[in-house]
Amino acid sequence: MTIKMTDVWKTFGEGHTAVDALRDMNLVGTQGEFTVILGPSGSGKTTLLNLVGAIDDPTRGELLVNGHNLSALDVDQKVKFRRESVGFVFQFFNLIPTLTAAENVELVADLTLPNGAERAAVVLEQVGLGDRLHHFPGELSGGEQQRVALARALVKQPPILLCDEPTGELDFETGRMILSLLRRVSRETNQTVLLVTHNAAIGDMADRVLRLRSGVIVDDVSNSSPVDAEALTW
Amino acid sequence: MVKPLHHKLWRDVRRQRAQFIAITITIFLGVTIFGATYDSFRNLQASYAATATDFRFANLTTAGGDVATIATEAAATPGVESAEVRSVADIPFNVGGVKLLGRIIGVPAGEQPTVNQLSVLEGIYLAPGSGDVLVEKHMADHFDLSPGDLFDIRMSGRWQAVTVAGVVASPEYIWPARDRQELITSADNFGVIFAANAEVALATDGSPNEATIYFTGGGEDDALSNDLAAMARSHGAISTYTRAEQASNAGLTEDLKGFEEMAVFFPLMFLLAAAMAAYVMISRVVHSQRPQIGVLLANGFTRRQVRRHYLGYGLVPGLLGSIPGAVAGILLARLITEMYTGMLSIPVTLVQFYPATLIGAVLFGLVASLLAALAPALVASRVMPATAMRGETPSGGGRRSTVERLFPPIRRVPVGWRMAIRGVGRNPRRTVYTIVGVVLSLMLVLVSWGMIDTVQHLMDRQFVEIQQEDATVYFGEAAGAADVAALAEIDGVAAVEPALTLPVSLGSDGEHHYETALLVLADDTEMHRFLTTDGNWISLPRSGLVLGQATQNLLDVAVGSKVAMTIAGVGVVQEEIVAFVDEPLGTMAYMSRGRAESLTGDVLPATSALVTYEPGTDAAELRRTLTELPAVAAFEDANALYAVVQKYMVLFYGFVGIMLVFGAAMAFALIFNAMSVNIAERTREVATLLAVGTDRRSISRYIAAENLLVAALGIPIGLVVGYFAAKSALASFSSDLMALDLYIRPTTFALAAAAILLVALISQWPGLRAIRRINIPKIIKERSA
């Protein structure tokens, strides 16, 4: 699934308080590409992710995903797009505390295809949580919670995976383990991954690294020989 | 408080204005109802007391016996200011062709009596030797009588025209009741006039038959009343009653009692509801502001400052609700008092300002809201800054719901619905408070609605199930069997039975006495059915006495006990009680004609006849035909009395309707706040679900289902608690005048439950609409949302 941004602006607020989070951004992402987006706070990383995930709209410009202009979609069409095409992994996991690991994944699995419970179990097995299916989020470690969140994103088999600081709340070892898992699964399923992080070291495992500053892409580097996540250090 | 915290408080209030407004309105309603009902109660109490004093309302009235001696001895008793005799008789009136059994009361001509004085509203007081009469206001209003008008009364066996000299109000007939057994009368069947004592004496065999006694200063004195009553009985009095027992006064006192109960019960519920709504909301504020509290404490704010700041969240709705509420209540009390006293023509209306009510009302509102804020404020002041500043851990301990553990198949319902079911137990304290809110709302609804159902049911029982006659025909003089039989010959009359009503005094021992009426009915009467206190329908027993259930306690007797029955003109007869009956109106005594005749050794006459109509009979035409008969003095249509009750009920429905609206408002405010908090608390979950592609309708359904489940949990409890609250509220109104045993129709329970669920559903609407406005990117990025 290709992503194409043409002259995209995103402005928050109006008049004197207006802030341009993205400025005249042009970008093309290709199917199966693992892209890491780096930049300091306020550089527009998360905004970029939110636009691609159709949870926010550009102020100006055109954003095409697989040839579909996201700005032209109505509310229901955006819901359908998110449901079928996008998986989110958040920094703070955002699991439903009253649902077990399996149920958190099943809730999302049910949105697309039947047998959500079975598929949830399979995906949780893939992320190494086969023995934690019936644990509630409060009974899981941070790394385990993020793996559940990853499983929740993967269970729909979305062509695009959007990860916003997925290791921000995790210790080094756990973070590296999550990245490794992410890289493995995305390769296996040929998913397009956009991963936002402050951590420049993570760029070494990406096919492509974008650096943002003040809403502008200041660096766009392809990496022909990405390292394994296990080799990362920071 | 530090100034910036003031700004924070006001901005927080503005941000959550809908919830604050809901709490403020609930406090306002509670305080308003308190002020209105309590001041109305005090105003009415003061008005009645002033009327009693200004018009020298008798503290004790005795009937029968040597009334002259009774009055003389009473007048000589310390503590008695005045005692006098008078003649009272129930005689036929004919006003514009309408025959009724009215009451004529003797008063001194040319001067007011020293006891039971009259307020002349129109015309003049009786001039000596004029032969005119004064008409009591209710009768004058009904028949549109004014000074100078003429109508007929039947005295000494003949009809005579009398002229209206004036229209008066009497402390004895503010509520126009014939007696305690006939508290509700139709103006077509009962009216009161006052004439010179000498003229009224003609109707009472030439001598007075009542003594009226007024105590020094008009104050009540139970010991003095008891002594005087004993003295009167020793002089042959067959009936004595105190001011409190006097029919009109007793009816009004019951009504006052209603105001007093309302002045406590309803406001308490509203303030409790407001307090709970405030607690739920302020707890949520504190919970969501934990990081801010941590920052405040870390920067040197004292715990006391933090506590005071969060108490402010209770103080704001408390002040905004209670001060206008107290003012509105006092103004409303003035309006209610004036309307009420005007409607009943109470001669003295006292509308006063009671500063204590104003202060009390404001304090009630403030205390309720501050108490609600206290627990969350304490929690806020005890926050550990370091922990608080780290922010909330989003994933609290989840667990399977009890219902899933008890009924494992529920685990197979779609996961979205499982989420809704588990949400019920997610915040147990808030769930409990929401349930209590539902319970309180149902209590308010059922207490109000239960009153309507009960009164409707009891009226149906009295007028449809117990009383089978279509009309009662009163004879001018005691009638014989031939007079009764003559009625049966009239076209349209299906059946006739003779009836004899005698005033009696029942005594179970030397101490317990009860004045009532003995109704002697045909042996196999089909005009009156008897429902015993154990719920069985029986025929009138051939022998023995059947008594209204209130006498069980009043006389301390049981089935099988013997009572001494003093009958005027007959003497004292001993008779066994064979049953107690459950009759809503009055507390009568019943006996079969055969038994009464064997006890007295005479063939007894009839004072009235109970009549049923042929199907399709024109009741108005039959009334005209029957009342034209010379022997017939008055005609009482059972449906007319029923209609009177229904007319009074309209006011009652109005009042209860207002209570229902208030109850719905309270339920809305309470549930709205709980639901809003419930939705606010899971903003991040909602944002996450939206981000991953769940549509808003599904999310709304899950949340609505969870909230409705919580409301539904409260419903069975609310129905049970409401039932007992209604029972207790009605029990306090029950007396020998009216037996109010709670009856709530099954449909009322169902409708009340449905109404609460509807309110719960509607009250979520604003919160669910807010889901549409959720800023997904912002919320999902927040550490604590």
Q: Is the pLDDT of residue B266 over 80?
A: no
Contacts of B399 in chain A (CB under 8 A): 136
Q: Is the pLDDT of residue B644 over 80?
A: no
B704 and B588 co-located in one domain: no
**Cβ B695–A76 below 8 Å, yes or no?**
yes
Contacts of B414 in chain A (CB under 8 A): 110
B632 CB-side CA count, 13 A: 27
**Cβ A111–B688 below 8 Å, yes or no?**
no
Q: Which residue has the higher pLDDT, B509 or B494?
A: B494
**Cβ B423–A98 below 8 Å, yes or no?**
yes
**Interface check B695 vs A, CB under 8 A:** yes
Contacts for B414 with CB less than 8 Å, ≥ 6 apart: A110
Q: Is the pLDDT of residue B451 over 90?
A: no
Residue of A nearest to B688 (CA): A94
Within-domain flag for A151:
yes
Within-domain flag for A225:
yes
What's the order of all strands across the beta sheet hosting A3-12?
A: A19-29, A3-12, A60-65, A68-69
Tell me the pLDDT of chain B averaged across its residues.
87
Q: What are phi and psi of B360, to 5 degrees?
A: -60, -40
Chain A interface with B: residues with Cβ < 8 Å: 46-47, 50, 53, 55-56, 76, 79-84, 86-88, 90-100, 103, 106-108, 110-111, 116-117, 136-140, 145, 152-153, 156, 164
Within-domain flag for A67:
no
Contacts of A97 in chain B (CB under 8 A): 394-398, 426
**Cβ B394–A92 below 8 Å, yes or no?**
yes
Q: Which of A48, A79, A92 to mutate to test the interface with B (most CBs of B within 10 A)?
A: A92
Q: Is the pLDDT of residue B383 over 90?
A: no
In total, the C-beta contacts within 8 angstroms joining chain A to chain B are 112
Q: How many domains does chain A have?
A: 1
CA distance A224 to chain B (A): 32
* Structure-token match 């009958």, residue found: B567
What pLDDT, on a 0 to 100 scale, did the predictor assign at position B600? 84
Contact B502, B608 (CB under 8 A): no
How far, in Å, CA of A152 to CA of A135, rounded? 15
Q: Is the pLDDT of residue B232 over 80?
A: yes
Confidence of residue B394 (pLDDT cuts 50, 70, 90): very low
Q: Which of B206, B231, B266 is the last residue of a domain?
A: B206
We report the CATH number of the domain holding residue A213 as: 3.40.50.300
**Cβ A56–B781 below 8 Å, yes or no?**
no
* Alpha helices in B461-559, H assignment, sequence order: 481-488, 550-555
Segment (H or E) for B674: helix B638-681
Structural domain of B600: 493-613
- From residue A139, alpha-carbon distances to A114, A142, A155, B10 in Å are 28, 10, 22, 39
B651 and B720 co-located in one domain: yes
What's the order of all strands across the beta sheet hosting B210-215?
A: B80-86, B210-215, B60-63, B239-242
Q: What is the Cα B30 distance to its own chain's centre?
A: 19
What average pLDDT does the segment B254-279 reach? 80
Q: Which of B396, B777, B782 sits opposite A50 (nearest CB)?
A: B777
Q: Is the pLDDT of residue B73 over 50?
A: yes
What pLDDT, on a 0 to 100 scale, did the predictor assign at position B395? 42
Interval B150-209: pLDDT, tens: 999 988 878 899 999 999 999 999 988 888 877 878 888 899 999 998 888 877 777 899
**Interface check B777 vs A, CB under 8 A:** yes
How far, in Å, CA of B741 to CA of B582, rounded? 9
CA distance A144 to chain B (A): 12
**Cβ A111–B692 below 8 Å, yes or no?**
yes
B364 and B406 co-located in one domain: no
**Cβ B398–A50 below 8 Å, yes or no?**
no
Q: Burial code of B45-84, b = ≥16 C-beta within 10 A, e = fewer?
A: ebbbebbbeebbbbbbbbbbbbbebbbebbbeeebbebbb
**Cβ B692–A83 below 8 Å, yes or no?**
yes
**Interface check B428 vs A, CB under 8 A:** no
B262 and B353 co-located in one domain: yes
Neighbours of B732 (CB within 10 A): 14
Q: Which of B187, B206, B225 is the last residue of a domain?
A: B206
Interval A47-93: pLDDT, tens: 999 999 998 899 999 999 988 899 999 988 988 898 899 998 988 88
What average pLDDT does the segment B231-245 reach? 91
Within-domain flag for A125:
yes
How far, in Å, CA of A150 to CA of A91, rounded? 11
**Residue A168 buriedness (CB in 10 A; 0-12 / 13-18 / 19+):** middle
B97 and B177 co-located in one domain: yes
Q: Is the pLDDT of residue B785 over 50?
A: no
Residue of A nearest to B784 (CA): A92
Confidence of residue B393 (pLDDT cuts 50, 70, 90): very low
What pLDDT, on a 0 to 100 scale, did the predictor assign at position B667? 77
**Cβ B398–A138 below 8 Å, yes or no?**
yes
What average pLDDT does the segment B364-383 reach? 92
Q: Provide the ipTM.
A: 0.79
Contacts for B471 with CB less than 8 Å, ≥ 6 apart: B610, B611, B613, B619, B622, B623, B626, B635, B636, B637, B638
Confidence of residue A43 (pLDDT cuts 50, 70, 90): very high
> What is the pTM (predicted TM-score) of this model?
0.73
Confidence of residue B318 (pLDDT cuts 50, 70, 90): very high
Q: Is the pLDDT of residue B520 over 80?
A: yes
What pLDDT, on a 0 to 100 scale, did the predictor assign at position B783? 58
Contacts of B781 in chain A (CB under 8 A): 46, 90-91, 164
Contacts of A87 in chain B (CB under 8 A): 692
What pLDDT, on a 0 to 100 scale, did the predictor assign at position B324? 96
Within-domain flag for B488:
no
**Cβ B398–A136 below 8 Å, yes or no?**
yes
Within-domain flag for B621:
no
Confidence of residue B391 (pLDDT cuts 50, 70, 90): low
**Which of A32-46, B198-212, B497-511 is modeled with the greatest confidence?**
A32-46
Contact B87, B155 (CB under 8 A): no
Interval A173-231: pLDDT, tens: 888 988 998 998 888 889 999 999 989 999 999 999 999 999 999 999 998 888 988 88
What average pLDDT does the segment B689-714 reach? 88
Per-residue DSSP letter, B218: G
CA distance A21 to chain B (A): 13
Q: Which of B403, B412, B419, B688 to mutate to test the interface with A (most CBs of A within 10 A)?
A: B688
Q: Is the pLDDT of residue B5 over 90?
A: no
How far, in Å, CA of B418 to CA of B406, rounded? 14
**Cβ B416–A107 below 8 Å, yes or no?**
yes
Confidence of residue A10 (pLDDT cuts 50, 70, 90): very high
Contact A36, A205 (CB under 8 A): yes
Structural domain of A225: 34-58+85-231
What pLDDT, on a 0 to 100 scale, did the predictor assign at position B359? 93
Report CA Rg, chain A: 17
What pLDDT, on a 0 to 100 scale, did the predictor assign at position B735? 67
Residue B276, token pair as written in the block? 């709970």
Q: Burial code of B110-139, b = ≥16 C-beta within 10 A, e = fewer?
A: eebbebbbbbbbbbebbeeebebbbbbbbb
Residue A149, token pair as written in the block? 């969140």
Interval B422-446: pLDDT, tens: 888 877 877 887 888 888 888 888 8
**Which of A100-114, A164-178, B140-154, B299-313 is modeled with the greatest confidence?**
B140-154
Within-domain flag for B38:
yes
Q: Is the pLDDT of residue B93 over 50?
A: yes
How far, in Å, CA of B27 to CA of B18, rounded? 14
Return the amino acid letter for B541: P
**Cβ B693–A156 below 8 Å, yes or no?**
yes
Within-domain flag for A93:
yes
**Cβ A152–B692 below 8 Å, yes or no?**
yes
B642 and B785 co-located in one domain: yes
Strands A216-222 and B98-107: unpaired
**Cβ B395–A136 below 8 Å, yes or no?**
yes
Q: Which of B390, B424, B453 is the last residue of a domain?
A: B390
Q: How many domains does chain B have?
A: 4
Q: Which of A83, A99, A137 sits opposite B693 (nearest CB)?
A: A83
B367 and B452 co-located in one domain: no
B647 and B773 co-located in one domain: yes
Segment (H or E) for B232: helix B222-234
